[in-house]
Structure 1
Amino acid sequence: MHPVLFQIGSFPIGTYGLLLALAFFAGRALAQRQGKLDNLVPAAITDLAIAVLVAAIVGSKLLMIIVGLFTPAGQEGAMAFRDIFTLSTLRAGGAIHGGIIAATLVFFWKLRKGQGLPLRITGDALVPGVALGQAIGRLGCFSAGCCYGTETHVPWSVTFTNPVAQAFSGTPLDIPLHPVQLYNSLANLTVMAVLLIARKRRGFEGQIFALYFLVEGLGRIVTETWRGDGDRGTGWLGWSWLSTGRATGLGFMMLGLGLWLAWSRRRPAAAR
């Protein structure tokens, strides 16, 4: 599509990088709005969001390295290790579920340390914004050509022709592909909608946080059907169908179910 939005002299400004920034600000704004429903301080939400963002960037790059080194289809290990020291605006350079894992660990760590925010209610406020940020970020993937789909001849297929996309992401050119980045964006918007609807009928504190992992994991397992980029990693445990996204998606669903069962036994929250 359009990996480079414009250039300032010889410095390219990537569409992906700008959309990633927009994803952060939009996600933070939604998290603050949801937090106000439970009287959470907006400034505290912002501080937490920044810490989570940094963790997400590092975690996504670390998982990309692991995928490149330890899966049969992950052949970008050397490039991935080099890319961990960069913040290229032209390509994603990471695996989103690695970012979510790292961000979740930092989220629990910071709130256990005591940030003046209740853990479960804060999680409920944060995750709709996370889903919104993912949806916008996937538009960046589409513009950069990374995370591309398998070949198809359906009427809504997309064909990448920009050599910059191939140079940075290995995107096949002049071949009709599933626009799986848009599938993922739509899936993330659906996740956000489900969370916001469920938020109005919340039965216990932490329910929306747990629900996020359940529906995010399920959505990723489904959309992996049309992924065509080999460097995401497939063949975990010797099973060709078990890609990194499916493995982490299954893990997310197990985490969500565990949190749901554990937290639902506690005092229910009033619906808001």
Structure 2
Amino acid sequence: MDLAYIPSPSTGVINLGPVPLRGYAFCIIIGVFVAVWYGNKRWIARGGKAGTVADIAVWAVPFGLIGGRLYHVITDYQLYFSEGEDWVDAFKIWEGGLGIWGAIALGAVGAWIGCRRRGIPLPAYADAIAPGIAFAQAIGRWGNWFNQELYGRPTDLPWALRISEGVNREAGLYHPTFLYESLWCIGVALLVIWADRRFKLGHGRAFALYVAAYCAGRGWIEYMRVDEAHHILGLRLNVWTALVVFLLAVIYIVVSAKLRPGREEVVEPGAEPGAVEQAGQQDADDADDADASEDEAPDAPKDGTGTPADDAPEGTDGAADDAVDLSKDGAGNGAGTAGSKG
């Protein structure tokens, strides 16, 4: 008797009259909104303009969806173009099947187009949206839960995923790899946020860290899956992809840090430097202004005894009066000279 397990939805579609709400599509849409919302906050903090992330996302998101679907269809072509299969199903994206590798690759092309139209460096934009993409993936993976797909090997662990009988699947308890990857993506997002604050990553290194960290987790999660996939030298295709992309991301981080250290000061034409740097510069400017004000304030002229000249006792000797006048004249000229130098 199974005492504990994660149940699967009996259906992945809720019909509101003639309008079907599909859990998979709903998760993808929520993920996109989260990525754009959080990316916008990070972009503004870096000194960019509000709304820029959304404007570029208009290019990046459609390209990403097309790229993700193309990767899935190409690498799992037997599901759509084998004997007895209907090739029209390749266009039914709501039934599941988005490859993150294709989504990121072609999504980057769309982002590059959007950035180029606004004169924005793509690496700076990628750094801003990197954690948001990881959060979006964490949300999107729950779409696989609605579709009862991409689960792992059978298990009797308390958090096993219960799968019902269906097309190309057998009922049983399996590793919830969708949950593993969702939690891993949250950890990746938090890692990038921390590292970006700690080391002030720039020139695409925050995005490269996201890619490397995601690939590190995707490798072992992919190894647990039991769905049909192509194998090369005994390993699933996506495991090899994760390894190669991980190495490329690490190499980029190392080389970029040497060639272009630091972080971009201005990320968008007509925008001010980033909020953190701008706040620090403002504090320094305020301190300089305070010092300058102290330097420019003239001291009251004093006589030889330290008593202010205006308060000196009236003298009966004309020479004393002349000395006081000379003292006033000399002090005034000195104060004026000091003020001009400040």
- AA at the equivalent of 2:206: I
- For the aligned residue pairs, the C-alpha RMSD in angstroms reads 2.2
* Structure 1 stretch displaced more, 128-137 or 96-105: 96-105
The answer for the alignment partner of 2:269 in structure 1 is: none
Q: State which of 96, 99, 103 in structure 1 corresponds to 2:103.
A: 99
The SS at the match of 1:76 is helix
Q: TM-score, normalised by structure 1?
A: 0.84
Please point out which of 230, 233, 248 is paired with 1:234. 230
Identity over the aligned pairs, expressed in percent? 23
**2-side partners of 1:80 and 1:134: how far apart?**
29
Alpha-carbon distance between aligned partners in 2 of 1:121 and 1:115, rounded to the nearest angstrom: 13
Q: 4+ residue stretches of structure 1 with deviation over 4 A? A: none
For 1:209, the equivalent position in structure 2 comes to: 207
Offset at residue 85 of structure 1 (A): 2.7
SS in 1 for 2:14: strand
In the alignment, which residue of structure 2 is the partner of 1:45? Answer: 53
Query: Take 2:214 and 2:86, find their aligned partners in 1: how far apart are those partners?
Result: 25
- The question of 1:189 aligning with 2:186 is answered yes
* Shift, 1:38, TM fit: 0.7
Structure 2: gaps spanning 5 or more residues: 1-7, 266-273, 277-342
Q: Are 2:215 and 2:245, in contact at CA under 8 Å, matched by a contact in 1? A: yes
Q: How many residues align?
A: 253
* Match in the other structure for 1:133: 136
Structure with greater contact order relative to length (CA < 8 Å, sep ≥ 6): 1
Superposed counterparts of 1:108-187, under 5 Å = 108-111=112-115, 113-161=116-164, 166-167=166-167, 170-172=168-170, 174-187=171-184
User: Secondary structure at 2:21's aligned position in 1?
Assistant: strand
Amino acid corresponding to residue 240 of structure 1 in structure 2: G
Partners in 1 of 2:169 and 2:139 — Cα distance? Answer: 20
What letter matches 1:101 in structure 2? A
Structure 2 counterpart SS, 1:41: coil
Give per-residue Cα distances to partners, 1:206-254, cap 9 Å, x unaligned: 2211111110111100211221111xx2313xx122x232122123212
User: Displacement of 1:182 after TM fit?
Assistant: 0.2
CA distance in 1 between partners of 2:148 and 2:176 (Å): 10
Larger Rg, first or second structure (1 or 2): 2
Measure the CA separation in 2 of the matches of 1:138 and 1:211.
20
